[in-house]
Amino acid sequence: MVDDRRFASTWQLLLDSICQTMGRLDPQRFDGPPVILSSLPDLPYTRDGRDGPAPLPFIQGPPGRNIALAIGLRAALPRTPLVLLMNADSVTLGTNHLIHAARRNIGLTVLLLRADLTQHEAAGTMDRTGWGRPAYQQALEGPTRPLDWATALEAALVGRAHLQHPDELATLLTRALHTPGFSLIGVTQDETLPTGVLSQCDWPEYFSAYRDWCVPLRRADASPAAAAVAPRPARSVARQEWRIAGLGGQGVKLAGTVLSEAAGLFEGLWATQRGDYGSATRGGPSMVDVVVGSEPITYPNADHPDVLVLLTQAAADRWAGRARAGAVVVVDDDDVRRCPPGALSLPITALAREHTGKPIAAGMVAAGCVAALTDALSLDAIALSIAANMPAALVAGNLAACQAGHAATRAAQQETSACPGS
């Protein structure tokens, strides 16, 4: 507790309120004290432990991304109270995370601090929400009002408290933590703003509702031990790793979806996919990993792929050296000029344009290349997966592109056609 709140720092006042809340939590509902996730640039104690151990479990996460981290914790720790401390990063970098957490009613409580509360005294006033916006855009757009957003999205609880009144903040925080679902509390120093609960909606917390929905799906006669034993696929397939890399707009991510669902849903195998892509919708680097096999997959990355399809020179320069010894590497002759040794050079983009008129179908051609190089997938399974993942009017063209990639790969293997000069 702070002895004289007139001289307390922002951190001292926040921890004062949170520590008060600890003694008010219902032990029948919660396991242990709150876990604090902060994206603020400083810590309430030194990293070397000179201030003693932290009074609470504390995680300092990346700006704007702490909500995503907390959602994972909520899924794993349903009885642990979670309190997030954020400022302008929640409505700049983290806007989508904030909106989706409120819309789905995830069981989190966010303390949203005004930027001036965490501004260093020597730095002056700074409007972090205006970063990167030209003057004309700021003139056209209204002010950022996250509490209004959360209210419109029917968050479980939306409120406001004054930083210089930690007792009232503790009361509001306690109420928020006991309210199932997403709560957003604005913390301010403006004495003119209304405080307390601003809006409240009563609807189920997301993960609790999802667990309840799953109950009828469980077999009544299955013991916990039996439920832990996964069914084995009808055939044995050793773990295989595939990677397709290119640019956004080439259908790379869709290719990963088609391949993983073909293996998992239509071939009866275990399958995972993991995508990696830049912030640009089109033109930025894009990559997808697919891992399949007849045993459960505990690691989804294709760090050393058995099949590697490279659609651009940048992808070839970056990923060619990651292929497993003995792997088959396929490159698109439309863009890749410096070919990895022994790679198969195929007209992937040309085939995409031929069958669909668009380069975005390069991913489907690449999926056909992968299918030609593995015994884990049949073209029939891929055809079913394509039909399940795109509008009916696009199925025939994309299936033809996939089959063309399959045929071109088989022909190249028979001819042992490698990149010129490789």
Helix, strand, coil: what percent of the chain each, to 5? 40, 15, 40
How many residues comprise the chain?
Answer: 422
Contact 248, 286 (CB under 8 A): yes
Of 234, 257, 269, nearest to 376 by C-alpha is 269
Give the helix/strand (H/E) hosting 403.
helix 392-415
325 vs 141: which has the higher pLDDT: 325
What is the number of other CB atoms lying within 10 angstroms of the CB of residue 152? 14
Integer Cα distance of 130 and 92 in angstroms: 9
Average pLDDT over residues 384-402: 95
Contact 84, 38 (CB under 8 A): yes
Integer Cα distance of 379 and 399 in angstroms: 9
Query: What fold does the segment set 5-212 form as a domain?
Result: Rossmann fold (3.40.50)
Q: Which two tokens stand for residue 75?
A: 């899924």
Contact 346, 331 (CB under 8 A): yes
Q: Which residues contact 40 (CB under 8 A, 6 or more apart)?
A: 60, 85, 86, 87, 113, 118
Integer Cα distance of 164 and 14 in angstroms: 10
b or e along 49-70 (b: 16 or more beta carbons within 10 Å of the residue's beta carbon)?
eeeeeeebebebbebbebbebb
pLDDT tens digits along 97-118: 999 999 999 999 998 887 556 5
Residues of the chain above pLDDT 70, percent? 80
- CATH 3.40.920.10 residue ranges of the chain are 240-415
Task: Look at 215-229, 234-248, 391-405 and tell me which has the smallest mean pLDDT.
Answer: 215-229
46 vs 186: which has the higher pLDDT: 186
Integer Cα distance of 373 and 391 in angstroms: 27
pLDDT tens digits along 154-171: 999 999 999 888 899 999
Contact 306, 240 (CB under 8 A): yes
Where do we find the tokens 């720092």? 9
Q: Which two tokens stand for residue 184?
A: 């957003």
Of 341, 365, 322, 349, nearest to 419 by C-alpha is 341
Give residue 283's pLDDT band: very low, low, confident or very high (50, 70, 90). low
Q: Which two tokens stand for residue 415?
A: 């001819």
| Cα diameter, the chain | 83
Give the helix/strand (H/E) hosting 161.
strand 157-162
Angle between helices 348-356 and 362-372 (to 10 degrees): 120
pTM of the model: 0.54
Contact 160, 186 (CB under 8 A): yes
Of 363, 372, 382, 361, nearest to 408 by C-alpha is 372
Integer Cα distance of 54 and 391 in angstroms: 54
Query: Over 60: is that where the pLDDT of 47 sits?
Result: no
**DSSP-H helix ranges across 220-294:** 224-227, 252-261
Query: How far is the CA of 24 from the CAs of 16, 19, 79, 198, in angstroms?
Result: 13, 9, 15, 22
Task: Look at 222-226, 261-265, 314-318, 339-343 and tell me which has the smallest mean pLDDT.
Answer: 222-226
CATH 3.40.920.10 fits 240-415, yes or no: yes
Q: Is 381 exposed, middle or buried (0-12, 13-18, 19+ CB in 10 A)?
A: buried
Integer Cα distance of 81 and 64 in angstroms: 20
Residues of the chain above pLDDT 90, percent? 49
- CATH 3.40.50.970 residue ranges of the chain are 5-212
Integer Cα distance of 89 and 395 in angstroms: 42
Give the helix/strand (H/E) hosting 176.
helix 166-178
Give the helix/strand (H/E) hosting 73.
helix 66-76
